[in-house]
Amino acid sequence: MALFLYPLPSEMKFIRNIKIDKNKALYTGGLVILVFVMMTLFGRISELARLVNQRNAVSTEIGNLEKTHVYLQTQVAYATSVRAVEDYAREEGHMALPGDKIIVPLPLPGETPQPKTVPVPTLKKYPAWQIWWALFFDQ
């Protein structure tokens, strides 16, 4: 009632004549509260969906990392074994154990093996004006 202690301008006199229906006010207030609750609920549901997707992505990444870990453990176990040393010595070190028979393939008699030559690429020198011409006008 303190609002009406001061005289109202003529444009605002209609405020005194407003009649508020309590049921309509309650329904309107309830509807506004319901809208805010639904907005909060939808926000939480979308956040839940985002977090579930993120959890699934992290679970997949964890699975891949576990597989990589097992593979690397297998590689470490092989690299520290005696078998790895033997494989390296025989294949890349060209070594043999006592009692092994080493076979060296020889060419047929009368044939001379031809050495394979690898051509060495040479750079062709161009004058500077041709380089600039090619830079600006060639496609």
Of 5-14, 70-79, 124-133, least confident by mean pLDDT is 5-14
Tokens of 87: 């494989």
CB 84 within 8 A of CB 78: yes
Q: Is the pTM of this model over 0.85?
A: no
Note the pLDDT tens digit of each residue in 97-125: 888 888 888 878 888 878 888 888 888 88
| 107 φψ region: left (φ > 0), alpha (ψ -120 to 50), beta (else) | beta
Q: What is the pLDDT of residue 90?
A: 86
